[in-house]
Amino acid sequence: MKTIQGQSATTALTMEVARVQAISSITKCMDTIPSEYIRSENEQPAATTQQGVVLEVPVIDITDVDDEEKLVKEIVEASKEWGIFQVINHGIPDEVIENLQKVGKEFFEEVPQEEKELIAKKPGAQSLEGYGTSLQKEIEGKKGWVDHLFHKIWPPSAINYRYWPKNPPSYREANEEYAKWLRKVADGIFRSLSLGLGLEGHEMMEAAGSEDIVYMLKINYYPPCPRPDLALGVVAHTDMSYITLLVPNEVQGLQVFKDGHWYDVNYIPNAIIVHIGDQVEILSNGKYKSVYHRTTVNKHKTRMSWPVFLEPSSEHEVGPIPKLINEDNPPKFKTKKYKDYVYCKLNKLPQ
């Protein structure tokens, strides 16, 4: 660690520059980071990661539609035991994923800061959409080493193009093309999860809101961090969504909590990482488990990820699917409007 004086200088600089990308530029020649980014000892990656072990989360080939029973079994087991799996041979062309990643990277690294700020989230805004840095209340005022961009990519009625970058010019086309392909993958996963509960293939998606399900894209931008042993990109959490479909770049960062330890998750090029979120855990009355995960950062490389959160509309009520409830299996969760669930979660209030 450098001197306290050096730390104070860094902190003073960050008060003028709120974006982590800017803080990264300021601190890159230092051996310190501002104190608000230093996690408590029980969270620091160096102390809490199971070193030298990469977690081989379930990898599921979803092309084999001829054997739906096998596919359903694999997705159900992964969703119950892990809450996370990776799908390969998902049908999304490599170039579609590459284009999505290319335009997102260009937005963060080539668009002038003033232009990025034009689509920034307004303080106190109800919606998550827009360019920003902080997301939710952090314990002890700690911050994640990440900037982000949120905007909806489906359905068309929910999209607000005000939050879509105009630069690079191909941004909109790349995102709309990705959304089109991703919906097919999501439909298949919902079908398998529904069949795995003993329901008809369409029932879970109907309970989730069918055509009204909102696809919220988030681009996470984790710039190089001088002290990756002390900081986290995103703090440990479960996703509020039904499911999350994520593609990362090649820089390691995703960690999952399993059997009392934090593990790095194996990176597979062009695989889609699927997180079971809180709302599917609720719909299934706890049969499927939302995954507890976090993100670490890298000293020399920028990590990026593109999660798409499949969420209810704000007024949609989510609770255990009634067919699953009986005397032997009473409801484990309250039925409530999604907006109320989000408010409680972001403000660390009991559900």
d(C-alpha 78, C-alpha 266), whole Å: 15
Enzyme catalytic residues: 218, 237, 239, 293
Residue 192, C-beta contacts closer than 8 angstroms, at least 6 positions apart:
68, 71, 72, 75, 76
Closest CA to 136 of 45, 241, 234, 231: 234
d(C-alpha 326, C-alpha 299), whole Å: 52
The tokens describing 41, both together, are 């000892």
d(C-alpha 322, C-alpha 310), whole Å: 21
The tokens describing 16, both together, are 């003028």
d(C-alpha 208, C-alpha 221), whole Å: 30
What is the DSSP code string of 112-129? -HHHHHTTBPPTT-SS--
* Cβ proximity of 297 and 232 under 8 Å: yes
d(C-alpha 280, C-alpha 213), whole Å: 13
Name the phi and psi angles at 55, rounded to 5: -75, 120
Residue 175, C-beta contacts closer than 8 angstroms, at least 6 positions apart:
100, 103, 153, 164, 217
Identify the bridge partners of residue 84 per DSSP, sorted by sequence position: 275
